[in-house]
Amino acid sequence: MSEDIKKGLMGVTVDETSISKVMPEINSLTYRGYAAQDLCANCKFEEVAYLILNGELPNKKQLKEFEKQEKKERTISKALVEAIKKIPKKAHPMDVARTAVSIMGLEDKETRDNSPKANMRKVMRIFAKTPVALAAFYRTRKGKKIILPKKKLSFSENFFHMCFGKVPNKDIVKAFDVSLILYAEHSFNVSTFTARTITSSLSDIHGAITGAIASLKGPLHGGANEEVMHMMNKIKKPENAFKWINKALDNKNVVMGFGHRVYKSGDSRVPTMREYFGKVAKIKKDKKFEKIYDIVERVMIERKNIHPNVDYPTGPTYHLMGFDTDFFTPIFVISRITGWSAHIIEQHAANKLIRPLASYNGNKYRKVNKLNKR
């Protein structure tokens, strides 16, 4: 392999962004200059969504208007509802998310308009309707009646309401809000780069987000939180954790929820999510997964010096909240729509077609023989 080839674009800077950055001087992921953990401590998700999309934190008036717009757009079409009802119950919810956004693109009268104002209007529709579509599938696949959104509820409260028919206590809602804030944006990750690549051809925002969802589904990206829960379910109980993780490492198995391309000494989002994982476990009076978590983390650091990423505490937190495991990544989607959308708008503002080169290592020139001579 040639030395100038950067597999996976490792270390390659392909563009500029003002949306987010992992700032080494404070060892933290930042959105528009604000540390993600500070936003978790001081803001609700809607404030952070506004920040990512508009560049600044909202004042009370701006937040009220933003929330009003989001709540106004929550209703999904009858056609989309009927399509969701016809989806096989065993379909992965990520495929449902991808399909739902595609259908929204078919229905949206502004699909072809890539102007900043039209894109922002479309963002609000995608942002508001995607959780509703996913919650509808959550209900229909269980044979339950679809629950309509409530405008009086916050973004997070409404998602619980639509999935379970009730809103949990404020500490559970806060933990969910925190997870959405931590998942909202992370610079040029795989799905975001996918969205920007699609956008660079001057495709529409629905198509770009559909592609991003497909990218996020993979276990090496967003699907890792689901794999973490599958791992914990295999371990079953804390007494098995030490033996299980050591055997996995001895066999050179991949342990999901650990390591990150950007962070070398630990994902800055983990301490905050770990704290709220503990709070949810305490509320639910279930410490089993916390104990498994701590044992596996300790062995991974001691043996491999590999630290957990944010998917590691998020998976069991969503499980304790009552969500099905295959819905963990779709929850990631409803958060990351904000980051993807901001990048799509940014790409449009200073667009250059993304078209990298490849080093050819195939056959040398060959002549084509006629069929009877092959």
- In the structure encoding, which two tokens stand for residue 187, read together? 């610079």
Which of the residues are catalytic? 221, 260, 311
Answer whether residue 2 shows pLDDT above 70.
no
Answer whether residue 30 shows pLDDT above 90.
yes
The predicted-structure confidence for 84-125, as pLDDT tens digits, reads as follows 999 999 999 999 999 999 999 999 999 999 999 999 999 999
Rounded mean pLDDT of 231-243?
96
* Tokens 């299980």, residue located: 244
Enter the DSSP assignment of 23: E
pTM for this entry:
0.94
Q: What crossing angle do the helices spanning 270-284 and 288-304 adopt, rounded to 10°?
A: 150
The predicted-structure confidence for 143-193, as pLDDT tens digits, reads as follows 999 999 999 999 999 999 999 999 999 999 999 999 999 999 999 999 999
Answer whether residue 222 shows pLDDT above 80.
no
Rounded mean pLDDT of 217-233?
89
- Report pLDDT for 220: 78
Per the CB < 8 A criterion, the answer to whether 241 and 291 are in contact is yes
How far is the C-alpha of 196 from the C-alpha of 185, rounded, in Å?
14
* Confidence category of residue 3, pLDDT binned at 50, 70, 90: low
- Report pLDDT for 24: 86
- Report pLDDT for 309: 92
The predicted-structure confidence for 306-319, as pLDDT tens digits, reads as follows 999 999 999 999 99
Per the CB < 8 A criterion, the answer to whether 330 and 94 are in contact is yes
Per the CB < 8 A criterion, the answer to whether 262 and 22 are in contact is yes
Mean pLDDT computed over every residue of the chain: 95
How far is the C-alpha of 55 from the C-alpha of 191, rounded, in Å?
21
Dihedral sign of CA atoms 205, 214, 175, 319 in order:
positive
Domain ranges of the chain: 17-219+327-349, 224-321
* Confidence category of residue 61, pLDDT binned at 50, 70, 90: very high
Q: Which stretches of 270-370 are DSSP H helices?
A: 270-284, 288-304, 311-321, 328-349
Cα 326 to Cα 25, 217, 330, 331, 351: the distances in Å are: 36, 10, 8, 10, 35
Q: What backbone torsions phi and psi does residue 202 show, to the nearest 5 degrees?
A: 70, 30
Task: Specify which residues 34 forms β-bridges with.
Answer: 31
| 113-118, long-range: CB < 8 A, 24+ apart | 114/202, 114/204, 114/205, 114/348, 116/345, 116/348, 116/349
Task: Specify which residues 22 forms β-bridges with.
Answer: 29
Per the CB < 8 A criterion, the answer to whether 210 and 101 are in contact is yes
Query: CATH top-level class for 224-321?
Result: mainly alpha
* Confidence category of residue 194, pLDDT binned at 50, 70, 90: very high
- Report pLDDT for 166: 97
- Report pLDDT for 342: 98
- Report pLDDT for 12: 86
Per the CB < 8 A criterion, the answer to whether 109 and 133 are in contact is no
Q: What backbone torsions phi and psi does residue 245 show, to the nearest 5 degrees?
A: -70, -35
What pairing do the DSSP bridges indicate for beta strands 28-31 and 34-35?
antiparallel
Percent of the chain surpassing pLDDT 70? 99
- In the structure encoding, which two tokens stand for residue 346, read together? 């940014």
Angle CA(147)–CA(191)–CA(40) in degrees, nearest 5? 65
- Report pLDDT for 223: 83
CATH 3.60.15.10 holds for 17-219+327-349: no
Angle CA(341)–CA(123)–CA(218) in degrees, nearest 5? 50
The predicted-structure confidence for 362-372, as pLDDT tens digits, reads as follows 999 999 999 99
* Tokens 């449902």, residue located: 96
* Confidence category of residue 263, pLDDT binned at 50, 70, 90: confident
How far is the C-alpha of 196 from the C-alpha of 202, rounded, in Å?
10
